[in-house]
Structure 1
Amino acid sequence: MNLAETLARVDLTDERQQQQLYQWFEQCKDDQSAIQFACDSLTQRTYGDRDQVVFFLFLILEAEAKRLDTTDALVPLDSFKITLVETCKYAALCPNFVSSKIAQVMAVSFTKLYPKHWPDFFDCLIQCGPDILLSTLIQIDGEVVNRRIHHTKRELDRNTRLKDEMRVKDVGTLVSTWKEILEKVVESKISSAIGCKCLEVVGQYIEWIDINLVVNDGFMGKIFELLKRADLAEAVCDCLGEIVQKGMPPKEKCVLVESLYGALEAARLFGLQEHDELESIAKLICTCGSELMHQNEKFLRLEPPDQEGACQAMVAGEQKVELAIRLLANEDNDVSVETFDFLQTYIGRARTSNHKIPDEILNSCIRTVVAKSTYSSDYNFDRPGQDEAEADEFIQELKQLFESCCLHSPQAVMMVVKERLDALSPHLSIPEAEVTIRLLYNLGECLPVNMTSNSFNKENPSELQQLVQIFVGSSSPQHHAVVRLTLETIVRYSKFFQYHSEHLGLVLEFIVTSGGLLHSHGMVRSRAAYLFSKLVRELQPVMPAFSRDLLQNLQKVLFEGDDEFLSESDRSFVFEAAGYLAVCAPVSSGEKAQLFSGLLGPLVERFQIDTRHVVETPMEQEQQQIICTRSSQYVAWAGRITKCWKGPDGVNACSAQPILAETLKYFMKGLQIPSTIEARSVVMQSVRTFLHRMLICMGEDILVLLPDALAIFLERVEFRELHELFPLINQIGAKFKEKTVPLISPLLSQILANTFQLIDSGTGESEEIKTITRDFYNFINQSANNNSLAIFTNNETHIMKILSSVEAGARSSDPVAAKLCFTIFSKLAKDWGQQPWFGDIIQNQIIPACILGPASPNYDLKDAQTQMAIAESAVCMKVLFEIHGDGLVEYLRNTYLPSLSISSNIGGEYCEALAKKEIKAFKCYVKVFFGRSHQPS
């Protein structure tokens, strides 16, 4: 292509031509004439006023630069280097996106050509001016040094070589150039932007060059001079921070940090009121402090430990703590956050090295953390936005520092929290009340484990227990944020009420009335529902004294109000709590039955009214959906009430078996909603879920109620209906074992019809078909586990189709289904293996499945699930051998394996392994055996 003509007629700024531009680039980057044209045009500045064209040409050069060290380079090396040098001379005049691309191409060229093919690379670059020099050095750092960028081993070896060459040949010259640039910045002969870039380069390169080249009076003097410049203070601080973090032995590091810190003090950097760049200053101060703490640790890890050096490092670091705390207290959170790492590291080192923090420092740190944990007065609790999200994030990070204080000096922290709890009152400001309660709440997870609620006891109350007692006896503002946190704190320390039940009555009344479930704010009501349920469950031993009153108070919450008042899921928690309260009520079993009748009866009644209404009254589909959804909620709530029972014994202890049976009968009538009402599926799903609960709660009485329900569930041939029905059938079988046979046997024909119709239709998603197939095999497997195989023998006409399906599953590409099918065959062989008619099944279906399945291309031997399926096929063959012994081996050796054209040697080897190897060894052998069959011949 003629690149000159193309560039003359195309508008590279037109986004609509981006795809066309990409195609041109793909053609040009490997076209020698196009690359030479790019070199010539850039050298002669042919397109000097068309920045997009210049950028495009540099993209072509970048592609060429990446192959400069190979035989694939398309233009002469000298021509390429001349182009780069000439373009670098005018790079400062180009827009940023162009000059940045020039620097990138220079950096790539450096990695390919330096030093062998371009020994004077840096001399040429220095002559082109400070801007392109510094930009290129920043790009070289990314290519050669930056550890955050992934490099291959070959690139890492190359980078090490390049750094070694630079140290010997050019680093001294570069450092001198940096110093000259900084001198000109001090004299305002060069812009501050270039000064910032130079400081960035120094910070990047100090990691691997000789530190003495930079840390000397001449160089550091220039840096300290720039501290006085507001537009450069941040860059200077960042640069000094990188210098401080330079890797070196601990003794030398301490000397460096202290000398640098002293120079900064002399430069009056720490007059905090005099600087606008407090964020950078805080970062630098705390970097110095953190480095001293790291050296303290390094001293102690020496062999033998240097105790004196460690002590000096700790003292030196401690001298920076007071200033760090002052910065922590700054009203700007961006300044405060820079102190977190240092203060946490200091407290952590003090704790692990048994260093006593001076009381003044410790108390100052704790109180500052508490003050900074307090929301500002303009924090919008009602409609939190971006500012509130940032404040939350800051406080969450600050919590880690609070935890460090708790672990080091728990008594000191609890003393501060006690002071605030003593001052808690309804007249306290919202932020002050909120932070006071939040501090108490956080103690539960920040204190040492032996001081949390696990330490609560009756005889000798712990310090935290005493704080909770103060809190429970106090009052606070009724703002929703404070109330919600109050509820969270009460439930976190629920163990307190096991030893102080005299406080529980007022607390429960608070939660079920205006303090929680009846609060004016929806978020409080919602959270209170869950927390109340949790509290009732955790305090079952002390709940009997309050249960009847609570049930009375809960009537409004349970049966009144719409979703705006309490959502369906929130109300579920309250119903669950009500069930637990009824169980623990200190009344006779007959009276408990009445309590449960009072809870379940209204739900059943409303369910009947709604289902009758939706059947008898013509209405729009949308209205039908609303009513059916509401009906399903009644069923769900009834199910949550029964969560208090773990089995029939608990139900019988409450004389509630008849009530549950009656409730189930009424709910099952909802299954009779005509199929013309599409929304009935919502009701059916809720009843199916309720049946799961009833199978846990009820005894054999439920069996007489199930046939009609299961028959209705099988009426519709739909994936979801059948997929959710199989677990219910399996649960019935797992509970009642062989007693399930009379229930399921009459339904097997319909189960099979629905299953095979879905599998054979091919209309569903492939994943749905795979899922239903697995469900079906799992049903057969569970039936075998439950001694219920008579379900199938009672339906002899279907046995062969079922077995054919299992064989197909064993030979399918679904390894999960295949493993299940081999398991089924093993169990069928154990149960039916001696039956005369089953011999043909073994020969014609089970053995072919175990041999041909793993040998087929359907099996991906690299897949772990497939390997498990092959292992299960080995188990199946072993089961057959245990039943038929040498007769099976003889059949395999003389008849079956030869019919597959398997050589007598390999066949004999397989038969010998089957007969003589233990199951574990045989599994391993079979994997190898089938692995050979998959290898190309």
Structure 2
Amino acid sequence: MTIDEEVVNTLTSRIGSKEENTLNINIKDRMREQDVPALANAWYELLTEYKERSLDFAEMLLRIVGVYVAWIDISLIVNERFVSLIYSFLLTTSIRNAAADCLTDIIKKGMKPLDKLQLISILGIVDVLQQVDLSSDSEFRGRVARLVNNLGLQLCQIWQDTNPQANSTYPPTANPTAYSHVSQLVPILLQFLRDEDDNVSEAVFGFLRETLNIFKTIKKATGSLPQEQKALLRQILESIVMKMKYGENMEWVCVAIAGGSESVGTIGEDSIGDEDMLNFLEMRRELKRFYDQIAALSASLTTTFLHSAVTTTLTTFVNEKASDWRDLELALYLLYLYGEAIKGVPQFAVVAPSIGVNGGKNMNPISPAGAPLTPLGECLFEMCKSGVSAYPHPSVSATFFEIACRYSNFFEICPDCIPDVLEAFVDARGLHHPLLANRTRVWYLFWRFTKDLKVKLSPFIQTVLTSIRDVLTVEASLPPILAPDFDLSTYKDQTFETKTYLFEAVGLLISQHSIPAQQQFEYLSVVVNPFLTEIQASLEACRAIQQSSNGIIGGVSGVGAGSPRHRDLELVWTLHHRLMALGSIAKGFPDVLTNKKGVSAGATGGPCAQIFKQVGEITLVALETLSRFEVIRSAARFTFGRLINCLGQDSQFYLPPLITGLLQECSIMELVEFLPFMGQVAHKFKATIISILNGLLFPLVQKVFFFLNQVPSGTDEAMALVELRKSYLAFLMGLFASELENVLVTEANRQHLNLILQSVLHYAQDMSDVPVSRMAFGILLRAVNSWGSQGENSGGITPTVVNDNKSGSVSPDLSERLEAPGFYQFMYEHIIRITFEVPMKPTFDLQDGQSMLVLGEIAGLQKAMAQKQGDVFLSYLSQVYLPSINCPADLAQEYVQALQQLDTKQFKKYFQVFIQKSRS
């Protein structure tokens, strides 16, 4: 072993010097010539002698053989006497682990495919393994499973190497011989795959994967799988499914089957450890990949198996009512997985092709009277009608709801099943489930189900709302002891964040067009009024505290539950939750349609609008009362982001006090989120919002510059400033996209236009953040498109003023585009300059994809200036600017001609070549 560690081991060769490695190679060569045959004979003699006298010594000898076999003549070990001796050790309890490992090392020896195939044939391991007792020792089973896995991997690789489709240099008998060995080994593979010890099962996953790859290659070559492979595939599928089943000593945990974050809640006191459970779930995910491979190889086999497994299990449940939860959970889990495994849109009913019934969300499924269901449709129908969701183990109902959401379009085909599912959703199986983990997941699933089927759910809305009224509440609690530096704005309540899906689902249900407006009003009142009352009471309590100066809202601190600080922060936290709940309900309502001018296309004063106006008013009161708290500002911004869509123009009345309250004490990240909010407002209302934007623009820009001019105190703040730059530029881009760039040049803002343009210019030149640079150039492009036609003496025009019929205020008339004072000079002094300077910078990476997008934006900007300014711009380039940067006259003339004659796409290619040549 010492010789191996110091001379042979690959790690030694990696860290040794060149001279040491050369010496080691010479030692190995000399050993092969003179010493190794004697060593091999000595190993055999010693193993024969000590297999009875000292098993420990014999075990060490087997390890030595395994180490040396990688580089010595294989025939010294693989011969009748030596192999027979090793095989005999497999029957000796104390030494069989080492014997299995030694055989694994022999199998792994690097050899040419035909030599390895001959070695495997000589060894005859499959025949030996059939005689070995694998019943008791899981560690030994794991060693043998590792041997089988390595043997299988070698055989699969030989099969791939000798495949006539890929390589015709091998004898024609090599490939079928390799496959024959694989097929003989598969039954042993399946035995280990079904082993009760997960570690043993996982040890053969590699061989299983490559076996399925062989089947895939065969199918690709022949168009379909031969019957022999289909039979093996069926056995593999059965073994995989058997292994997916929870073990007898396992307890289920509530997880989101579709992936993502896991909400874990164990059932029972004898649950296995979390690590074991996570290992099982990870193994299930790996088994699912095999399941998907099999489905891709034979969809019909998978469908037939699924139908049999699910219907048999459900029939047993219906008839006996005493099924094991593990059987039911497995059957439903398979039904859930089927939707991912089978490619294409799930089919629920067998109909003529012209009818086109399917489960696609972008289609319009119909209900064909009397059309027979597909196997998948039958499974879903049986699931809904069997009452399996009432089984008392939480795993069953949890998986039931996951399936109902995955195949929600099935209920378009079979609407008679909707009441069964809705009843389960609203009772103790779903939204009223005693386990928080289950309830939390169902909140989200109920939202998905409602969103997909809201039209079909109209007849059941009153029953649903009555059944869930008691869960439409918020619970906001804080840790019993608060640290002195506790910050409410960074505290997360994941449970409540998930519950907002439930509130949005309620909004989706109530807002159905098929429900009369007055009925919608009554439903919405029942849901919203309790929150309005509670918020009003909380605000009165806050005012009382402020007046008494007894608490953090009034200035007093504390740490423990019951202290003024804890009590008041919990009150603020509760207010935040209630406002968020109201905003989530509003989110479920459809947007009020607006025309191109931002004017509401339909009536906005319906009964529900009156309720949402109350929500807006009380939100403003909460913001005014508690604007110092970031969580209240955040909740107000969220709620109004939804109310704007519900109320349309009617929400504009609330915007000035809202904006004032949000900006008064906002943080960097709040401003990052506020700018998209204002972009949403601008896009929604366009010209009708001009009076608000006109007064807001420069104070907002000042706030942005105040933060951007700060030196970041740490990594988090530096990242926040990067996000603020992006939000600021996106806001400016949004103004142009919404055709609101005139707000930049109104009487109130034109004096600040140069400051804004200079900031955009600065970020365009900063290649330390390439995406930001691209955004800035995009803004300059839009500015040129808007104002680039004006001449040198343009000083802007005084905008016409019109009277706002609603408020009596005056607003600029945006029916005609206003000129931008000084933009002509800005374009010639700065924009032209940076379009050449930026790509010529050493930091501009012409090999970087993002930088090339910037280069394309710059080329488009130059093309836009040429189109807007015409000969004036082209003459300036050829006679003034290009000569000033020492560009030869002939090249300058060529450049101007390209700019004038090529289209934008062609010029971008030319510009790239021009920059590359100029830099070289």
TM-score, scaled relative to structure 1: 0.74
Please list every run of 5 or more consecutive structure 1 residues that lacks an aligned counterpart in the other structure.
1-130
Determine if the alignment matches structure 1 residue 332 to structure 2 residue 197. yes
Among residues 124, 138, 143, which one is paired with 1:261 in the alignment? 124
Among residues 711, 727, 751, which one is paired with 2:676 in the alignment? 727
**Counterpart residue type for residue 43 of structure 2:** I
Q: Which residue of 2 aligns with 1:823?
A: 778
Aligned Cα root-mean-square deviation (Å): 4.4
CA–CA separation in structure 2 for the residues paired with 1:288 and 1:674: 70
**Counterpart residue type for residue 322 of structure 2:** H
Among residues 558, 568, 586, which one is paired with 1:624 in the alignment? 568
Determine if the alignment matches structure 1 residue 583 to structure 2 residue 495. no
Matches within 5 A, 1:687-726: 687-716=636-665, 718-726=667-675
Per-residue CA deviation, residues 542-585 of structure 1 (Å, 9 max, x unaligned), is: 31222221111110111376679993123212112212222338
Q: Which residue of 2 aligns with 1:634?
A: 578
Q: Which residue of 2 aligns with 1:223?
A: 86
CA–CA separation in structure 2 for the residues paired with 1:359 and 1:892: 73
Q: Which residue of 2 aligns with 1:14?
A: none
**Counterpart residue type for residue 703 of structure 1:** Q
Matches within 5 A, 1:373-772: 373-380=244-251, 381-382=266-267, 384-385=272-273, 386-400=275-289, 409-410=301-302, 411-412=304-305, 414-424=307-317, 426-446=321-341, 459-472=371-384, 473-475=386-388, 477-559=391-473, 567-584=495-512, 586-618=514-546, 619-621=550-552, 622=565, 623-649=567-593, 656-673=608-625, 675=627, 678-679=628-629, 681-716=630-665, 718-762=667-711, 765-772=717-724
CA–CA separation in structure 1 for the residues paired with 2:499 and 2:12: 60
How far residue 508 of structure 1 moved from its aligned partner, in angstroms, is 1.6
Counterparts in 2 of 1:307 and 1:828: CA distance versus 1, 3 Å:
same
Tell me if structure 1 keeps the 8 A contact 2:87–2:128.
Answer: no
**Counterpart residue type for residue 701 of structure 2:** L
**Counterpart residue type for residue 102 of structure 2:** C
CA–CA separation in structure 1 for the residues paired with 2:375 and 2:443: 30
Counterparts in 2 of 1:291 and 1:772: CA distance versus 1, 3 Å:
closer
Q: Which residue of 2 aligns with 1:796?
A: 750
Please list every run of 5 or more consecutive structure 2 residues that lacks an aligned counterpart in the other structure.
220-224, 252-265, 351-357, 359-367, 479-492, 553-564, 594-600, 795-821
Q: Which residue of 2 aligns with 1:356?
A: 227
Tell me if structure 1 keeps the 8 A contact 2:539–2:625.
Answer: yes
Q: Which residue of 1 aligns with 2:818?
A: none
CA–CA separation in structure 2 for the residues paired with 1:768 and 1:492: 38
**Counterpart residue type for residue 460 of structure 1:** P
Q: Which residue of 1 aligns with 2:790?
A: 834
**Counterpart residue type for residue 146 of structure 2:** K
**Counterpart residue type for residue 739 of structure 1:** T
CA–CA separation in structure 2 for the residues paired with 1:203 and 1:355: 39
Tell me if structure 1 keeps the 8 A contact 2:474–2:574.
Answer: no
Counterparts in 2 of 1:306 and 1:929: CA distance versus 1, 3 Å:
closer
Among residues 731, 735, 744, which one is paired with 1:779 in the alignment? 731
Per-residue CA deviation, residues 668-718 of structure 1 (Å, 9 max, x unaligned), is: 23221255xx32x21111121222223333433333332232233333364
**Counterpart residue type for residue 761 of structure 2:** E
Tell me if structure 1 keeps the 8 A contact 2:8–2:24.
Answer: no
How far residue 740 of structure 1 moved from its aligned partner, in angstroms, is 3.1
How far residue 751 of structure 1 moved from its aligned partner, in angstroms, is 1.8
Counterparts in 2 of 1:888 and 1:431: CA distance versus 1, 3 Å:
closer
Tell me if structure 2 keeps the 8 A contact 1:299–1:306.
Answer: no
Please say which of residues 460-469 and 541-550 is displaced more in the overlay: 460-469
Matches within 5 A, 1:53-452: 131-139=1-9, 141-142=10-11, 170=32, 173-174=35-36, 176-188=38-50, 199=62, 203=66, 211-245=74-108, 253-261=116-124, 265=128, 268-269=131-132, 272=135, 277-288=140-151, 291-292=154-155, 298-299=162-163, 301=165, 303=168, 313-342=178-207, 349=214, 352=218, 354-357=225-228, 369-380=240-251, 381-382=266-267, 384-385=272-273, 386-400=275-289, 409-410=301-302, 411-412=304-305, 414-424=307-317, 426-446=321-341
Per-residue CA deviation, residues 452-499 of structure 1 (Å, 9 max, x unaligned), is: 768778622222333333333144641233332333334334344333
CA–CA separation in structure 2 for the residues paired with 1:518 and 1:709: 37
Q: Which residue of 2 aligns with 1:875?
A: 860
Please say which of residues 560-569 and 425-434 is displaced more in the overlay: 560-569
Counterparts in 2 of 1:921 and 1:200: CA distance versus 1, 3 Å:
farther
Q: SS in structure 2 opposite 1:461?
A: coil
How far residue 309 of structure 1 moved from its aligned partner, in angstroms, is 6.3
Tell me if structure 2 keeps the 8 A contact 1:558–1:571.
Answer: no
CA–CA separation in structure 1 for the residues paired with 2:872 and 2:344: 66
Counterparts in 2 of 1:210 and 1:917: CA distance versus 1, 3 Å:
farther
* Higher gyration radius (CA): 1
How far residue 744 of structure 1 moved from its aligned partner, in angstroms, is 0.7
Q: What is the percentage of aligned positions where both structures have the same residue?
A: 21
Tell me if structure 2 keeps the 8 A contact 1:453–1:493.
Answer: no
Q: SS in structure 2 opposite 1:790?
A: helix
Q: SS in structure 2 opposite 1:584?
A: coil
Q: SS in structure 1 opposite 2:227?
A: coil
Per-residue CA deviation, residues 115-154 of structure 1 (Å, 9 max, x unaligned), is: xxxxxxxxxxxxxxxx312333552x3456xxxx899xx9
Tell me if structure 1 keeps the 8 A contact 2:672–2:724.
Answer: yes
CA–CA separation in structure 2 for the residues paired with 1:364 and 1:930: 63
Alignment: residue pair count? 794
Q: Which has the higher contact order (CA 8 A, sep 6+)?
A: 2
Counterparts in 2 of 1:172 and 1:292: CA distance versus 1, 3 Å:
farther
Counterparts in 2 of 1:790 and 1:405: CA distance versus 1, 3 Å:
closer
Tell me if structure 2 keeps the 8 A contact 1:230–1:276.
Answer: no
**Counterpart residue type for residue 183 of structure 1:** E
Tell me if structure 2 keeps the 8 A contact 1:325–1:368.
Answer: yes
CA–CA separation in structure 2 for the residues paired with 1:603 and 1:345: 59
CA–CA separation in structure 2 for the residues paired with 1:851 and 1:215: 73
Please say which of residues 392-401 and 619-628 is displaced more in the overlay: 392-401
Counterparts in 2 of 1:548 and 1:304: CA distance versus 1, 3 Å:
farther
CA–CA separation in structure 1 for the residues paired with 2:688 and 2:42: 95
How far residue 517 of structure 1 moved from its aligned partner, in angstroms, is 1.3
Counterparts in 2 of 1:450 and 1:239: CA distance versus 1, 3 Å:
farther
**Counterpart residue type for residue 420 of structure 1:** T
Q: Which residue of 1 aligns with 2:876?
A: 891
Per-residue CA deviation, residues 836-874 of structure 1 (Å, 9 max, x unaligned), is: 234333333333443455556775666654454444334
Counterparts in 2 of 1:791 and 1:310: CA distance versus 1, 3 Å:
same
**Counterpart residue type for residue 241 of structure 1:** T
